[in-house]
Amino acid sequence: MCGFIGFTNSIADDGAVLGEMMEKIVHRGPDSAGQYIDENVALGFRRLSIIDLKDGDQPIKNEDGSLVLTFNGEIYNYRELRRELKSLGHIFKTNSDSEVIVHGFEEFGRGVVNRLRGMFSFVIYNAVDNSIFGARDMFGIKPFYYSKMDDTFMFGSEIKAFLCHPKFEKRLNEKVLANYLSFQYSPTEKTFFRGVYKLPPAHCFSYKDGVFEAKRYWKPNFSPEQGALEYYADLVDRAVRESVEAHKIADVEVGSFLSSGIDSSYIAEAAKVDKTFTVGFEGDGDRYNEISYAKDFAATIGVQNISKVITSDEYFGSFPTIQYHMDEPLADPASIALYFVAKLASEHVKVVMSGEGADELFGGYRIYMEPLTATAYDVIPFPIRRIISKVCSLLPQRHGINFLVRRGKTIEERFIGNANIFSKKERKKLLLEDKGKAPHLLCRRFYDEVTDKDAVTKMQYLDINMWLMGDILLKADKTSMANSLELRVPFLDKKVMALAEKLPLECRVNTVTTKLALRKAAERTLPERTAMKDKLGFPVPIRLWLCEDKYYSLVREAFQSEAAKKYFNINYLLKLLDNHKSGKADNSRKIWTVYTFLVWYSQYFEV
């Protein structure tokens, strides 16, 4: 696991600039560093040594030095690829997984991306024709950013490294702010830095003579087959356990995150790790603290559980640092919990496994049950419900009103993912200038690809393409790498995905529960209360903390800052905050989304 940075070379002090850029991502790879510089390109690499500790340093070249690779990630089928490539005449200098990519590209061209099983982002520089080829894994587990500033093309694992380059112009992308306020993350390829983009998951690109061309090489294809629940539970169990074994490949110790739920518990049990790691929050019994559940489960499978209780002061005190590491604001309160559990794990191991991706692939979110839940109201013809919805949308938001609004909209109109913070209507009140589109319009391109699918599958497809990369995997990568820890996600595996695509709807979700096939598979080795436990994620007591004078005052000060006055209607912000503190409404997610942006902004634009 590593980080890389690079740029097409047109500056005199290239070595010094590259070194400064590399220093910005030293947390991604504190073990060693490497550079490649010629008159056309500068490549920098920071390494966290996991496989081939002695000889796996980068950049790595092919036999004649014409191809130069920098790579972030792990390739779990590298041994099979290595044997195949050696049989075709390729000569390897290391035992690392990285080297199979450069020889694979030499042999298969851009088709190498379809042969890789793992998480990755990489670039390969061709010193003969001065072209660059790059790619990102199918789910977007590992990040890839790029920018064209003047005549310089920059690329790398984190945006913060770009800021060191003399050609980089730092400007806020205000259009993204509006979208972020609805999604709680930046939901498109555009980032909060104008002119900086994310390479989407499952995309590769070429760059030559100033021309950038990207192409998608894989898409999810949900094509359910027939079969009983027990049959698919067998297949799921085999696929998950085989994936876990593949993900255990390392020359260092591997641990596992552990919550009270099924996903991380299933992974920890299948992996047979020695150490598991859990965090919780103080106060309110076990509602925000899963440590006792995790310790009980760890004891049943005979592994050590190392835990930590996070105080409110630690949570708020670490928040600016965490937002700095995110590169872009992410208003998911669970990201701070993930940062602390990664920090805890990094004191004991270099690699951990985690349960990200199970919900998106196997149908784990309770919101997926909504399309299957019929009500007496649904017998009313949809055109009439649509009229009622439009009328109710003009009224103050309440639980019953929201139900009427949602039931008069199609799934494409009402579901934008697992976070829906500010509506377009609310954004107009909040922002001094709303430059974003209506939230559902940003989702249309993905819904258009699955017009023939059922509503649940549509929701899963959208989440795999947006929520998974924009929120779940962003916080997983950035919080683990901030602590020089490699995080592996066995559910997000190409073989597991191939099975998930075949699951019948009734093996994913029904009106009673979620992840039916996965739960049935896990029941065989996990206690029933773990296998059937409702999803909590990382529950965080933000709602309660924002009612305390100390944190209310902290947020209120931020809401009256000069940065807030540049973008927001201050009176509207303060009303949200005061109504929350007085108990008139639960505005915690809205407050936290704005506060997160302001804290992130202070890290990048007020320094």
- Active-site position among 2, 204, 443, 507: 2
Alpha carbon distance 118, 494 (integer Å): 8
Q: Are 577 and 304 in contact (CB under 8 A)?
A: no
What are the distances in angstroms from CA 383 to CA 338, 395, 448, 453, 558?
Answer: 44, 20, 22, 22, 45
Alpha carbon distance 387, 396 (integer Å): 17
Alpha carbon distance 284, 330 (integer Å): 26
What are the distances in angstroms from CA 467 to CA 142, 463, 524, 594?
Answer: 15, 5, 30, 19
The partner residues of 60 in beta bridges, in order of sequence, read 69
Is there a catalytic annotation at residue 547? no
End-to-end Cα distance, the chain: 30
Cis peptide before 59, with omega less than 30 degrees from 0?
yes
The partner residues of 152 in beta bridges, in order of sequence, read 149
DSSP string, 401-462: HHHHHHTTS-HHHH--SS---S-HHHHHHHBSS--SPPHHHHHHHHHGGGTTS-HHHHHHHH
255 burial type by CB count under 10 A (0-12 exposed, 13-18 middle, 19+ buried): buried
Q: Are 481 and 3 in contact (CB under 8 A)?
A: yes
Burial 312-341 (b: 16+ CB within 10 A, else e): beebbeebeebbbbbbbbbbbbbbbbbbbb
Query: For residue 390, what are the contacts with CB-CB under 8 A and spacing of at least 6?
Result: 408
Pairing state of beta strands 196-198 and 203-208? unpaired
Structure tokens at 10: 């047109």
Residue located via tokens 């924009």: 470
Among residues 37, 34, 41, 45, the alpha carbon closest in space to that of 15 is found at: 37
Q: Are 330 and 185 in contact (CB under 8 A)?
A: yes
Alpha carbon distance 335, 592 (integer Å): 12
What order do you get walking across the sheet with 145-149 strand by strand? Answer: 32-37, 41-47, 2-8, 152-156, 145-149, 196-198
The partner residues of 196 in beta bridges, in order of sequence, read 147
Among residues 601, 575, 600, the alpha carbon closest in space to that of 587 is found at: 575
Name the residues annotated as catalytic: 2
